Structure 1
Amino acid sequence: MTRGRIDRRTCLGALAAPMVIPARGRAAAMDAGDGRAGSPSPANADDGADAQDSPPSQATAATTPRLLFTRDELSRMRARAGHPRLSRFRDAVIARATATLTAPPLVPSITMRGEPDPPGEDKGLSCARALQGRVFTLGMAWEITGERRYLEHATVQLEQAVRDWRIWVDTAHQPPFDLMTGELSLTFGIALDWLLQANDAARRASIVNGVVGRGLDAYLAAIERPTPPGWHTAPHNWNTVCNGGAVVLALALQASIADRPRPENGAYGRAGDEAGGAAEASLADKVARVLQKAVPAMEHYWDHLRDDGGWDEGTGYWRYGHRYALMAAEALRRSGNPAGDAVFARAGVRRTGYFPLVFNPGTRLAAGFGDSNSRAYDPIFYFLGARYRDAAFIWYQDRAPLDTERVGWPDAALALIWRPVDEPWLPENTPNYTPHLPAAAVFEGIGWALLAPRQPDPPHFLSFKNGSLAANHTHLDLNHVSVGVGDEMLLIELGNRPYPADYFRADRRYGYYEIGTRGHNTVLVGGRGQVHGRKGRLLPLIERGDLRILSGVADDAYELSAPVARRHVCTLDDGQVYLVIDQIETTEAQPIELRWHTGGDWTIGDGGSALVTSGAARGAMRMLAASGIPSMSVAAADGWIRPVSVLRVECPASTRHLVATVVVPGATEAPSMSMASSRDGASAWVRIGPREIAFTLNQSGFRLRESRASAEHH
């Protein structure tokens, strides 16, 4: 998530002090005068733990929220919170909000990445997420119950963050603005739009004064430099978390300026009013500058999204980047900015929820690649489902576990707002509803695919990775495959370790086992791996009868010269058997090694066979090269942080290699196999049990000549 090294300790003092806007001017600018009876008292007042306000929907008409939801939408949420589809979210919100009332304060640590935190402290980015979870959850509990203790505690949390937090930039990142600041900016923007309107003007002004200095001014200080930081126009999660957070904060401040009562004669007659007008004009100018810079910058992120919805940072970072990207787009749309509507008109945005649906098969597994290879559960699926009336997204998020102890993002609070109910298109209104997902799902633009007998909830699957080695958070893993059986990963993607201090240094990152080619289920050439920044591609899917064939091209992607480096993956017998064919050609004779990782165990048999088991899952494999049976051995994944066994399949030096691997998920014994190729390597055939496949290999890829039962089995 980071790029570059800094000496952060020298910057802490500068980060801690917000810019001061004259208090009277800020109070006047922010005081919209909601006239709410029973508004919460200042923090030192005795408000009574169980005291209740008048219902929020009836008490704050003058300054209604508008960026993610309106007062009417909140009122409808409260009325339907007991709905069978929503009651679990309501209960989770109240339980979590109540626990937060007695939770210790959040204290961002100033230790560096990889260093331990003092007791009671946590890294800055974690604190930013916890604050968002607390504030949104407390606010929603106030909306549901009317108990102002929840609103009061949300306000206290915001006050502590602007007054007491030593840093608003995580110590792993470069000041003056980063992911932590972006997340905080969005939190404060929504709170200003929604919760802070129920507080008196002086209290609001103190909080806003702090967030203008530590959020808005910090953003401008970052992007108005002669050379803005790389994240400003980057095609990855940093763009939308940083720019999106700044946009939401700016829109909230923009709305607060518009709501400010003006002098009756349109002029400022007293010195105090003139000071207030000057402060307002200064703030309006800052808001305009932020929006002018941030809104077009986010287009770089959306332009990177393929029309099929594929996202090359993977499912974990899809969740992170899209969460902030879509909330910012919705805030823009509701504010009347056409950039918001333009986002939702994109084909890729309409389709993008299917990307995590495919690569999060079943209910437990993540079948993607790279850093943060995790499931992408998020209430943003409810938002997308409601936006596009797509029941698949609702169905998927309904299966997400709900953790009432979680201290991070406010999933239950946002689910209460975004999960639609009582509409005919919803999945609960179709008996035995399942989304329509192709058995062979290919995201050609990013070079990712998943092959299975059926989707969703496949009995087993093979996921296949190609694409660009310049993608953010990518590993050096072209032509890597993973195999899952039921709810167990059999041939695994290692993912990443907790980010150490040098994990994103170019001179260190690719030395980590799980990042380099040797940590993946792909091919080493001459003992060497692939090169960061090189590009591969996935050729179009071939479908012929019960055969589906995909070819991944990693030509010239290795440290050693390998003009041809291709992996062809075929599904046979209606997806019950996978055939992997590796085709490697080098300018000088080189040995190659296929590596297969499992968190379980290997048993090597005769004739190139092996059995892999992990928990209740098992799979039979057999490997054969055109030159004969390769050498096979089992080794530990030295350099990785958890126990992993690696099956090493080695072929002696040659300028041309052709290796076939058959994988039969769920089986204990692989079928017999034989293989041959022409002298020039351009054509070959593989016999797997009674099945014979003849094919041609050329610059266009894999060309099937025929597939039939072999003669001796007729």
Structure 2
Amino acid sequence: MNLVPHPRLYISADHYRRVQQPSNLPILAAAAGRVTDLARKFLDDPAIVVDETGHNYHLIRARRMQTRIVTMLTEFRRTGDRRYRDAILEDVRRVSEWEYWSWITWRQNDPRPEAIFDLSYGENSATLALAFDGLRDTLNVAEVALFVETARRRALGPYIHVNGGEKKQGYYRKPDTNWNTVCNGGAGMLALAMGGLCAESERVVALVEEGVAPFFEFLRGDGAWPEGIGYWNYGMRYGFMYLLSHERATGRRHPLLERAGTQATLLFPLVFSPNGAPCSFGDVNHFSPLPFHVAAAERFGREDILAELDRRLEARAKGGMSGTWPDDAELLLLHPRRRLRSKAAPWKRVSLQEGLEWGYVADRWPAPSLYVSVRGGTTDAPHVHRDLMSTFCLVGDERLIENVPVDDYLDTTFSSRRYELYETSAASKNAVFINGVGITDKVTARTTLLGGPGYDGFRLDVTEAMGTMRDGPVARFCGRAILMVKRKGVLVIDRIELPHAGLVESRLHTFFKVTFGKGDATVRGKKGRLHVSFAASQPARVKPGMGMPTNPARGPDTTLRQVSERKVHEVTLCHFLMPNGRAKVALAEKGERTTVAVTGDLRFKISFATAGLRF
């Protein structure tokens, strides 16, 4: 391989020179202070404390080591204080000597380095790559040998062992999992860093190129990601770190960075976390901007994305970055060091994500006052919940209606009993239930855009997703329409048609205080409130319920239940969400059509063919 001199990964010599100059930008001044404080702490205390009863604690240890090393590397490059350099080398020796890199093989009592190449291997490889690349010009022969021996024995050799033959690790070319880029990307970064010093480097880079291609080729034109925004951050962090490193190390533009979906994906987590409030689906509904996002946006010249990232970073400058990785250090290195402002974001106000079929509708961008996200698509993907047809409703920066999230991973989380957990089950989602149960596993909701005078939204057909019962399909038809009305309220219409009479229910969940009335309820947030009015074509009750979160630290959610009073063959249910006001919803059936009318602080009327919820 023909590679440029060190430093040649995504953190360049220009980046290291950049941190030597102070910045008057508040987010960078705050980050600089935290980096200095943390680096000094790391010098004084080499301990890495993790909860060894926790899920995948070896991975947590790897991340904390990466934070140690990259933070001290940044401080070394900023100050020239060799104590940081020497401490990094001691940490590299520790990483080299860890008996187990993998939690999986630790549980199996298999200490062979080549037994696996998993997430911990990927993250440790990236850490070694950054340390070697950033220190290369300061290392003596023995210190270089430490990196070479560690890279070959603990990372590059094992990677080739498990991915270089006919049988490969399950993530290797899998397009829809963060494991792909974390494992492949980490190995690729280390191979690029070591170059000709390791005989395995060229082979590893070739394998990595083959492995990561399906991941980025999977992205459609809008860059949507099926694991949700939390795992987007994880997978894309390592994916972009590798691709940007490859471009810099080889001096050539990478074809995967030329794809439309690769650029478009930078917007995906922003439009599913409006005002910094995550409204995504699946296991990790969390999102905090990471510095790789800034570097990638700068690579593509996306000033709108850079401005939004800056807006969010400034909003939390005092509290610091996420803390999972060396975020403050990377921000100091990668931020373009100029104030970015965007008066308006040229983003779609209503969007159905291509292929994924998740949707959102906002009253405006980049800071909506009313926003709804909608879960269509399939549950046949990693890290999904039984959450088809569910929604989030955001008022300002408060999720007044939300699905119940997963707080922690347990041994049951990734087992055959996964969907018995409250947080992953349909019972914790804002959805429709027939005879007490919601959607089943590995099913699809067909989702289409709706639009007309005064409304925008989506129609979801979840008939097949409701599954089967003792003698056939649960439903002849089950569908939902979710409409933002006049950019001021949200109308949800559910239509259920059954082969045999059954109980039908629609649920909403919130962690805020709820006051129930007769046929309505009010959700009171810390800043705003949401009035919810209910109506039905058959007698129905509005009842409170209480969730049962698995994690003892989380208080129970309140459930707003609209339930048919008796078993029915068919029914139309609807509810209207009115932020910071009041409105009443009513429906009337006449012949083959139904009309839903909203009165009060907002007036609206819509008609549709009753059977099959056809507009």
Normalising to structure 2: TM-score of the pair?
0.90
Residue in structure 2 matched with residue 564 of structure 1 by the alignment: 477
1:420 to 333, 336, 341: 336
Residues 662, 108 of structure 1: CA spacing in aligned structure 2 closer, same or farther, 3 A cutoff?
closer
Residue in structure 2 matched with residue 322 of structure 1 by the alignment: 236
1:301 to 204, 215, 220: 215
User: Is 1:250 the equivalent of 2:184?
Assistant: no
1:343 to 256, 264, 287: 256
Indicate conservation of the 8 Å contact 2:217/2:256, yes or no.
no
Residues 569, 408 of structure 1: CA spacing in aligned structure 2 closer, same or farther, 3 A cutoff?
closer
1:346-400 CA distance string (max 9 Å, x none): 111111121111111114x111111110123111221122112212222222222
Query: Within 1, Cα distance between the matches of 2:119 and 2:296?
Result: 24
Query: Within 1, Cα distance between the matches of 2:72 and 2:372?
Result: 43
Query: Within 1, Cα distance between the matches of 2:185 and 2:611?
Result: 46
Query: Within 1, Cα distance between the matches of 2:24 and 2:349?
Result: 38
Query: Within 1, Cα distance between the matches of 2:521 and 2:14?
Result: 62
1:156 to 69, 90, 104: 90
User: Is 1:67 the equivalent of 2:9?
Assistant: yes
**Paired residue secondary structure (2:275):** coil
1:228-275 CA distance string (max 9 Å, x none): 221112221010000110111111222x43xxxxxxxxxxxxxxxxxx
Mapping of 1:3-402 within 5 angstroms?
A: 63-79=5-21, 81=23, 86-106=28-48, 111=52, 113=54, 123-163=57-97, 165-171=98-104, 175-224=115-164, 226-234=166-174, 235-254=176-195, 256-257=196-197, 283-284=198-199, 286-336=200-250, 341-363=254-276, 365-398=277-310, 399-400=312-313, 401-402=316-317
Query: Within 1, Cα distance between the matches of 2:346 and 2:587?
Result: 37
Residues 407, 523 of structure 1: CA spacing in aligned structure 2 closer, same or farther, 3 A cutoff?
closer
User: Is 1:453 the equivalent of 2:363?
Assistant: yes
Residue in structure 1 matched with residue 526 of structure 2 by the alignment: 615
User: Which letter does structure 2 place at the counterpart of 1:623?
Assistant: F
1:657 to 571, 577, 592: 571
Query: Within 1, Cα distance between the matches of 2:477 and 2:168?
Result: 40
**Paired residue secondary structure (1:413):** helix
User: Which letter does structure 1 place at the counterpart of 2:330?
Assistant: L
Query: Within 2, Cα distance between the matches of 1:310 and 1:677?
Result: 41
Indicate conservation of the 8 Å contact 1:496/1:514, yes or no.
yes
Indicate conservation of the 8 Å contact 2:278/2:285, yes or no.
yes
**Paired residue secondary structure (2:583):** coil
Indicate conservation of the 8 Å contact 1:622/1:670, yes or no.
yes
Query: Larger Rg: 1 or 2?
Result: 1
Indicate conservation of the 8 Å contact 1:356/1:375, yes or no.
yes
Residues 241, 624 of structure 1: CA spacing in aligned structure 2 closer, same or farther, 3 A cutoff?
same
**Paired residue secondary structure (1:650):** strand
Indicate conservation of the 8 Å contact 1:108/1:167, yes or no.
no
User: Is 1:487 the equivalent of 2:397?
Assistant: yes
Indicate conservation of the 8 Å contact 2:594/2:607, yes or no.
yes
1:579 to 491, 502, 508: 491
Query: Within 2, Cα distance between the matches of 1:206 and 1:375?
Result: 37
Indicate conservation of the 8 Å contact 1:362/1:458, yes or no.
yes
Query: Within 2, Cα distance between the matches of 1:537 and 1:674?
Result: 25
Post-superposition shift, 1:405?
Answer: 8.8
Indicate conservation of the 8 Å contact 1:384/1:393, yes or no.
no
Query: Within 1, Cα distance between the matches of 2:588 and 2:46?
Result: 66
1:675 to 551, 564, 588: 588
Residue in structure 1 matched with residue 426 of structure 2 by the alignment: 517
User: Is 1:604 the equivalent of 2:516?
Assistant: yes
Residue in structure 2 matched with residue 594 of structure 1 by the alignment: 506
Query: Within 2, Cα distance between the matches of 1:201 and 1:166?
Result: 25
Post-superposition shift, 1:452?
Answer: 2.5
Uncovered stretches (5+) of structure 1, i.e. residues with no partner: 1-61, 115-121, 258-282, 704-714
Residues 406, 236 of structure 1: CA spacing in aligned structure 2 closer, same or farther, 3 A cutoff?
closer
Uncovered stretches (5+) of structure 2, i.e. residues with no partner: 109-114
Residues 698, 347 of structure 1: CA spacing in aligned structure 2 closer, same or farther, 3 A cutoff?
farther
User: Which letter does structure 1 place at the counterpart of 2:457?
Assistant: I
User: Which letter does structure 1 place at the counterpart of 2:90?
Assistant: V
Residue in structure 2 matched with residue 264 of structure 1 by the alignment: none
Post-superposition shift, 1:472?
Answer: 1.4
Post-superposition shift, 1:497?
Answer: 2.4
Query: Within 1, Cα distance between the matches of 2:309 and 2:585?
Result: 43
Post-superposition shift, 1:82?
Answer: 5.9
Residues 654, 89 of structure 1: CA spacing in aligned structure 2 closer, same or farther, 3 A cutoff?
same
Query: Within 1, Cα distance between the matches of 2:381 and 2:288?
Result: 19
Query: Within 2, Cα distance between the matches of 1:685 and 1:436?
Result: 35
The count of corresponding residues between Structure 1 and Structure 2 is: 589
Post-superposition shift, 1:659?
Answer: 1.2
Post-superposition shift, 1:421?
Answer: 3.4
Query: Within 1, Cα distance between the matches of 2:27 and 2:545?
Result: 49
Indicate conservation of the 8 Å contact 1:461/1:485, yes or no.
yes
Residues 631, 82 of structure 1: CA spacing in aligned structure 2 closer, same or farther, 3 A cutoff?
closer
Indicate conservation of the 8 Å contact 2:220/2:354, yes or no.
no
Post-superposition shift, 1:675?
Answer: 2.5
User: Is 1:474 the equivalent of 2:363?
Assistant: no
Post-superposition shift, 1:107?
Answer: 6.0
Indicate conservation of the 8 Å contact 1:611/1:621, yes or no.
yes
**Paired residue secondary structure (1:384):** helix
Normalising to structure 1: TM-score of the pair?
0.78
